[in-house]
Amino acid sequence: MRKTFSILMILVLATAASPIQAQVSGLPDFTELMETAGPAVVNIRVTQFGSISRPGRGGAENDAQEEIPEFFRRFFDTPNDPRFGRPDRSGAGSGFIYDSSGYIITNHHVIDDADQIIVRLADRREFEAELVGSDELSDIALLKIDALNLPALKFGSAEELRPGEWVAAIGSPFNFEQSITSGIVSAKGRSNGSQQYVPFIQTDVAINQGNSGGPLLNMKGEVVGINSWILSSNGGYIGLSFSIPIEVAASTVQQLRDTGRVQRGLLGVEVGVVTREIAEAFDLDRPVGALVNNTTRGGAADRAGIEPGDIILDFNGEPIETWNDLPPLVGANPPGSEATVTVTRNGVERSFDVVLDALPGEDGETLASSGGGSSSSNPLGLAVDDISPARRGELGDPTGGVVITDVESDSAWRAGLRPGDVILAINNRDVGNTGEFEELVEDLEEERSVALRIWRNGASSFIAYRPKASEEE
């Protein structure tokens, strides 16, 4: 009996081990990728020159208080020589050669405000680089060194990347040159408030200070992204790394190489999140799209007929799932190009042909009225008042509207409404005075979300909530 049991245990252990062995044997080998791509990855050292202290001008103590660019705060080597009012500051990053004639791609933040850029190749040769051009919005910079017949990397496709796919990064974390790390694609289309035109690739590849500007590679050794930033609570890698898709980088680099600057199309809308309440109020079956909070007067969207309260569902055939999807699609088109925008308005889909403008720069407390008669409490839980002509100017000259003088409903307060907000529209129906406000409120359906277009601090936005529910809580 014991012999039979032993044999069974051996068989069970052998069976359990075989899938693990198969899984281990299936892990990728990055040695060939490193041997092929490594020679084209470079280390970048930057210096911002200091200034010698001048007598009678405050000396080093005052000069040291000058603002230091973010990159040099992260990576610095400051001499303690008292002769320097503002000492030299240096930093390091990564980059890669994409053209054998000496063109190198890196991040804008790596070389921003640098007085000298030194590129060190994998074979230890060093060159002083010329800055061809740099674009802060995409965090891409293009450098040129005086060298020929250099090893260069090929571009792959970030669009074809799938979550779960293996990728690798090569760079100089903490100035350790020619370091390779690997991981998988975690997600695509991530947003960053300071670079809204970039749909970042999220990975769990170990990226640290000094990796910035280096390539993110697929298993073919092709560049699919430029390593740009990490999300961290302590300044170090915690598993959230973000890279610029190569399609965005390639477009930026080509424009920098051709003209030294980048041009982007501008739709002329302020967009916000479509919440569950907004979707219900605007007759959508799910929260999807980009809510138009406001349009630029005379801008591309305004000229085409797009209005505040429209929800953009599609741009040039590309679906808009969230508002973050819209800016990269618009920015990828040059000024003057035509685009088709599909919106839903009052539950009906409509399409508009727009001609994009150019993004500019590439070529207080809201006050209430002491005017007309005040409206008393209502189903919305809001007390409102008309706006006098003098007070309208102080509010930033909103068109129409009534001002909130008191928020009596808990749900309205939790939704974000405050005294001093100007209500411009209710469920996409304009409000011109307190009389119109009361008429619209009387027509509201019970137990249904209502969307208010409000004006606050010179800008409009939407707030939605269920007014009836608040009275029952």
Residues with catalytic function: 109, 139, 212
Q: Give the closest residue to 99 by CA, choosing from 155, 139, 44.
A: 155
- Positive or negative: CA dihedral 268, 272, 274, 280: negative
Q: Which residues, 6 or more positions from 369, have their beta carbon under 8 angstroms from its beta carbon?
A: 385, 386, 387, 388, 391, 403
Phi-psi label, residue 5: left if phi above 0, alpha if psi -120 to 50, beta otherwise: alpha
Q: Which residues, 6 or more positions from 23, have their beta carbon under 8 angstroms from its beta carbon?
A: none
CB atoms under 10 Å from CB of 44, counted, come to 28
Could you tell me how far CA 175 lies from the centroid of its own chain? 27
SS3 content of the chain, % helix, strand, coil (to 5): 25, 35, 45
DSSP class of residue 160 equals T
Q: Residue 36: in which H helix or E strand, if any? A: helix 31-37
- Beta strands 140-144; 103-106: pairing state: antiparallel
Residue with tokens 């801008």: 299
